[in-house]
Chain A
């Protein structure tokens, strides 16, 4: 009797233990992450940096993670199919890395409630859709400080992609940085109306340098404008990734997108079942925005750049600290206040002093 009871108890304990183990195993889900890129991974900019983040997931999670990607997906009717195909082929975490993928991402997410979606730079979230972006304007402020010190002609050439808040905010932040050290800087802006078209981007850069610009800034994804700067003997800033090998004599620094930690953290969250829908907007302090090494500049400018970067990270400097007026002279941000995230996200106005008109 007693022996039997012991046996039975033991069996029950073993069974419970096995059950617990089984549940544990079920919770530690393997990650199969899919990525949708708007450009080719060889753009050396935006999509390239996302792909580095994808590789970071594989490196960090090893056998527990597999990843795949689809590149150069047009922002249109095709995106929905690609996202759905990823969801259908067993991916449980899908990153869609361009603003134009927002609506298709949300639409497919509704049909696959068990799949987690991460959409970059958008504003629509759902129970299984997170959004994330980086405060690149912080890096642009640092770049502006450097430009203000380095320019001789006091003309900065700026190649923009589209006049969306992200880009307008970048121009404003850059000029606030530049004016903090040199109030005479002027900016000339050319809209390339593309994120990635080396030919168009390069032509825009040439036109700007012909107009006297001796600093080249870009908010497009290929190294072409920086390469033009290198050939024409002026200096400039890399975009999204460290582009020093394309312009060893011209790159001052680059605002580097650093998605690795975020991507690994999100993949781990899927793995241990703690993934939740969140909105992330990380800046220099979070590591999402990284500055490439400061090169091709005197030591005092380098020291100033490093100091500015550190102060932004610590919160001592906010690029959009009031008072800030718009072009019409209206006070947008009061003295002693900083721009709210809401204002930054919808920014569709130039600050006072920018001698250009926002395309309407």
Chain B
């Protein structure tokens, strides 16, 4: 009989080492898989993890890809700390893109310098609005926010599909389901010539810093941590859990909405039925990979972004299937969870001495 027994005291160092360990084990297992596929494992790992970033353009693309992941994951990690499980970042991202992008489409021939800032505001409001619904349902009706936020994702993506197929379809676009291109005044400026690194990337760095300050220096950051770790104690000292639910869902929603707006006003430049290859969901892995800590999230976002870029190059130069990307992400998450479990629990063989097996 194998069972897991909670460790009385778990190593603090291991909490931070476990992502590193998980990455190392992913590399080893990945190498083994590659060699079974008849590829030199070192070549393959080089292609996957080094080749994408061995020139300045590659590094710039890494930042572009990591931008939405980091922004969303910062917001999500705040909620996860307080045991608020917002799984619907993808929907909040979509609503942000709709709200902010809608403004750009309404003023499609605008040259105003105020258009872009106004789009930021609307993007954040759109995402926060979509986060507010699960917050209301949770605080008022005690409905599980995992379900409501996830289901609202599908509502949001179908709403976007409706808009670009119908009222917001480009009148000059041969009836194809896409909006007009945004006006130049509604596009994020590129901050480094010759790349696609846009203002959103700079904003992501600001979000990381702000998130770190919020968490470590502010009262609300302290409350977040206490509510998550010891809800009973939090109640005793008068922290209001409802307020935490509202705060984290609104914040997570607003950041996701901004991330969505940055995608459509940045690399995409218009609204179309598919604006995100699942950033809102991948950001959940990023948040945990980063230990729910803003700096960790930054690294987690870069690593997840790298697996996407590496997957593309592995197809181009090695002829490996696209599924390898998903495989890598899956293995990484598996090892991360396994490491976390083993940090908190001890594996015991044999039947327990005193207690029954119910646990």
Contacts and interface: CB of A to CB of B under 8 A. Distances in A.
Contacts of A168: 175
Interface residues of B, number: 36
A348 interface: yes
5 contacts: A71-B322, A81-B61, A99-B176, A100-B274, A162-B165
Interface of B: 57, 61, 64-65, 158, 161, 165-167, 174-177, 196, 263, 266-269, 272-277, 308-309, 312-313, 315-317, 319, 321-323
B274 A70 contact: no
A339 to B, nearest CB: 15
A40 B158 CA distance: 23
A72 interface: yes
A167 B196 CA distance: 34
Interface of A: 34, 40-41, 68-78, 80-82, 85-86, 88-89, 99-100, 103, 123, 162-165, 168, 193, 345-348, 359-360
Contacts of B196: 80-81
B272 A75 contact: yes
A68 B315 contact: yes
A306 to B, nearest CB: 34
A74 B277 contact: yes
A82 B312 contact: yes
B165 A86 contact: no
Contact of A346 (B61, B174, B273): B174
B166 A360 contact: yes
B175 A71 contact: no
Of the listed residues A68, A69, A76, A348, the one surrounded by the most CB atoms of chain B closer than 10 A to its CB is: A76
A41 B321 CA distance: 9
Contact of B312 (A81, A345, A347, A359): A81
A71 B315 contact: yes
B312 A193 contact: no
A350 to B, nearest CB: 12
Given A72-B322, A77-B263, A163-B165, A85 B313 contact: yes
A148 to B, nearest CB: 27
Contact of A76 (B175, B275, B323): B275
Contact of A165 (B57, B175, B316, B321): B175
B266 A77 contact: yes
B312 A85 contact: yes
Nearest to B68: A77
Nearest to A78: B277
Given A77-B267, A77-B268, A193 B273 contact: yes
Given A165-B175, A346-B175, A76 B312 contact: no
A174 to B, nearest CB: 18
Contacts of B176: 99, 164-165
Contacts of A72: 322
A100 B61 CA distance: 20
A89 B317 contact: yes
Contacts of A40: 321-323
Given A70-B322, A81-B196, A85-B316, 7 more contacts: A41-B321, A73-B312, A78-B65, A81-B64, A100-B274, A163-B165, A164-B175
B312 A70 contact: yes
A123 B178 CA distance: 14
Nearest to B178: A100
Given A123-B174, A164-B177, A100 B315 contact: no
Contacts of B274: 74-76, 100
Contacts of A41: 321
A346 B61 CA distance: 36
Contact of B175 (A78, A81, A103, A348): A348
Contacts of B165: 162-163, 359-360
A70 B321 CA distance: 8
Given A68-B315, A70-B315, A162 B177 contact: yes
Nearest to A164: B176
Contacts of B268: 76-77
A54 to B, nearest CB: 11
B174 A345 contact: yes
